[in-house]
Amino acid sequence: MKKRNVAKEELSISVSGLKNIKVLFKGDLYELALFLLRMHDAKDKGTNITTRETVFGLSGIYASLVNVDRNEIIKIVEQYGIPIGATIQNDHDFG
């Protein structure tokens, strides 16, 4: 996972936008994204770094965890109209 500052001009989505997506069960990507956001926030605390995943990165992490093809996850996500390159933000940071 790369650390980077999220520029305002980047395409971002709110984590809650992942709630209805189902790969293996409804909300599985959402729950993983929430976990990763909390982990990144804890790691970044006290620094000037904000670490965030893209939807593509989240798909890869999910694929590695459950041993499924990343491309299958991407196909599912695209059916919901979510851009693969979008950065996932906490709901309270989105806007």
DSSP state of 81: T
Residue 5 lies in a domain: no
Residue 45 lies in a domain: yes
* Amino acid 93: pLDDT: 84
* Amino acid 94: pLDDT: 75
The answer to whether the beta carbons of residues 59 and 77 sit under 8 Å apart is yes
Total domain count, the chain: 1
Residue 4 lies in a domain: no
Nearest 10 degrees: CA dihedral of 25, 28, 31, 37?
Answer: 180
Query: What tokens appear for 78 in the block?
Result: 């695209």
Q: What is the pTM of this model?
A: 0.86
Residue 46 lies in a domain: yes
Domain with 32 in it: 12-93
Residue 6 lies in a domain: no
From first to last of the 95 residues of the chain, give the pLDDT tens digit.
444 444 445 699 999 999 999 999 999 999 999 999 999 999 999 999 999 999 999 999 999 999 999 999 999 999 999 999 999 999 988 76
Nearest residue to 71 (alpha-carbon basis) of 83, 81, 60, 80: 60
Residue 2 lies in a domain: no
Residue 59 lies in a domain: yes
Residue 64 lies in a domain: yes
